[in-house]
Amino acid sequence: MLRESKEDDILLRVEGLKTYFFQRTAVLKAVDGVSFSVAQGEAVGLVGESGSGKTMTCLSLMRLVPQPGARIVEGEIWFKGDNLLEMTEQEMRAYRGHRMAIVMQDPQTSLNPVYTVGEQVAEPVRLHLKERGQQAMARVLDSLRAVRIPRPELRLGQYPHQFSGGMRQRVVAAMGLTTQPELLIADEPTTSLDVTIQAQFLRLIRELQQDSGTSVIWVTHDLGIVAQMCDRVNVMYAGRIVESGRVRQIYKEPQHPYTRALLDSVPLMGARREKLYQIEGQPPDLRSIPEGCPFWPRCPEAMDKCKEQYPPRTSLGSEDFVHCWLTEEGR
């Protein structure tokens, strides 16, 4: 499962992406210089607390940041050989739902209540694959079968409110996967599901990914999901990626104090600890990110230097890197 990504193998490469919210009195730096890449068939995790800019990064990838208010101000998003940020809106639409798809957090609200499930899954098929009638319906049925929805012929004509949460999320997945996209963005798709349903859904997506060779970006705050689903992981804090590496490497030797703190706050089976570790303080207000490293006010190992200057990127071999003065100074 672990694989080294080579340059010609790269599906998506994000360079210095900045997405800001422009408010009347302040500029909110939701994504502030994010760079990462996703190889073909690879599953990459995007991990961080709420408000760290994960979702906004994903919406930026599809160029669907909330309007009015947010704007992608800088950066490049290379999808194979094309920079998505230089495309016209019309060219971009040919990517959405066709070459890249998204599954959002809440299955209760991401399906339109007034159209049948079949109709909603059929939309991308008609739009991008130009299939109509019987042919399109056959493909929709296949997609519903692929996400293991029982009795798809019957379910096709039903409305979202007739589905359970887990089944709805499968429908959303089917909607995204029916056009066989090269990239699937899963934005905390299991957060609102029961734990057992969650496990089923994760297994399903993993199998579909292995069968089709689709690349996946997993957005989550759950490091357990990352360990189970991803090859690489990018840890985000205050709109930036502070550490990036192969999953096993990061779990074994986390470099950034924030990554360490995140790992320490995951309950472990069988571990006897009095109290679960908790990161002190709050994530920073994105309107006034502190000077230097944004994590220093919460960092147990903060030095004077951390308060003055943002640490540079320290390479940890292959593509792994970290932004922390501890590592930088230590070498």
Partner 1 sequence: MVKYIGFRLFQALLGLWFIATLVFILSRSIGDPAEVFTARNSGVDAREIMAAKLGLDRPLHEQYLKFIGQLVRLDLGESVSNGIPVTQILVERMPATFTLGLIALLFALVFSLPLGVLGAVYRDTPVDWLAKVMAFLGQSMPPFWLGIMLIILFAVVWGLLPPAGKGEWHSYVLPGFTLGWGVMAGMVRLVRSSMLDVLDSDYVAMARAKGLPEVVVIGKHALRNALLPVLTYSSLVLGAFMNGSVVVEQVFAWPGIGTSAVQSVVRRDFPVIQGVVIVFGSFFILINLLVDIMYAVIDPRIKYTQ
Window 4 to 63, contacts with partner 1 (CB under 8 A): 62
x/- letters, 166..195, toward partner 1 (CB under 8 A): ------x--x--------------------
The one-letter amino acid at 80? K
Q: How many chain residues interact with partner 1 (CB under 8 A)?
A: 30
Nearest CA among 50, 69, 51, 65 for reference residue 17: 65
State the CB neighbour count (10 A cutoff) for residue 67.
7
CB of 193 to partner 1, least distance (A): 15
CB of 264 to partner 1, least distance (A): 33
CA-based torsion, 21, 169, 180, 231: positive or negative: positive
Q: Is residue 122 at the binding interface for partner 1, with CB under 8 A as the rule? A: no
For the chain, the residue count is: 331
The region of 96-104, 189-197, 237-245, 253-261 touching partner 1 under the rule CB under 8 A is: 96-104
Distance, in Å, from the CA atom of 272 to the CA atom of 295, rounded to the nearest integer, reads 28
- Dihedral, 277, 282, 286, 288 alpha carbons, nearest 10: -130
CB of 90 to partner 1, least distance (A): 8
The region of 13-21, 94-102, 271-279, 301-309 touching partner 1 under the rule CB under 8 A is: 94-102
CB of 161 to partner 1, least distance (A): 5
How does strand 100-103 pair with strand 70-79?
unpaired
Q: Is residue 124 at the binding interface for partner 1, with CB under 8 A as the rule? A: yes
b/e map 39-51, b = 16+ CB within 10 Å: bbbbbbbbbbeeb
Distance, in Å, from the CA atom of 99 to the CA atom of 167, rounded to the nearest integer, reads 24
Task: Using CB under 8 A, pick the residue from 52, 110, 190, 244 that binds partner 1.
Answer: 110
Q: Report DSSP letters for 132-177, one per residue.
A: -HHHHHHHHHHHHHHTT-SSHHHHTTS-GGGS-HHHHHHHHHHHHH
Task: Using CB under 8 A, pick the residue from 111, 147, 238, 247 that binds partner 1.
Answer: 111
Task: Using CB under 8 A, pick the residue from 71, 93, 206, 305 that binds partner 1.
Answer: 93
CB of 98 to partner 1, least distance (A): 6
- Identify the residue whose tokens are 């080579």: 6
Task: Using CB under 8 A, pick the residue from 135, 162, 265, 282 that binds partner 1.
Answer: 162
Task: Using CB under 8 A, pick the residue from 74, 106, 264, 328 that binds partner 1.
Answer: 106
Task: Using CB under 8 A, pick the residue from 14, 72, 101, 250 that binds partner 1.
Answer: 101
DSSP label at residue 91? H
Window 277 to 316, contacts with partner 1 (CB under 8 A): none
Q: Is residue 154 at the binding interface for partner 1, with CB under 8 A as the rule? A: no
The region of 20-28, 34-42, 88-96, 301-309 touching partner 1 under the rule CB under 8 A is: 88-96
How does strand 215-220 pair with strand 27-39?
unpaired
Q: How far is CA 83 from the centre of its chain?
A: 19
Task: Using CB under 8 A, pick the residue from 2, 64, 138, 268 that binds partner 1.
Answer: 64
Distance, in Å, from the CA atom of 178 to the CA atom of 98, rounded to the nearest integer, reads 9
- Which residue, 56 or 326, is less far from partner 1 as judged by CB? 56
Structure token digits, residue 246: 């192969």
Q: For the chain, first and last CA: distance in Å? A: 31
The one-letter amino acid at 205? I
Applying CB under 8 A, the residues found at the interface with partner 1 are: 62, 64, 68, 93-98, 101-102, 104, 106, 109-116, 123-124, 127-128, 159, 161-162, 172, 175
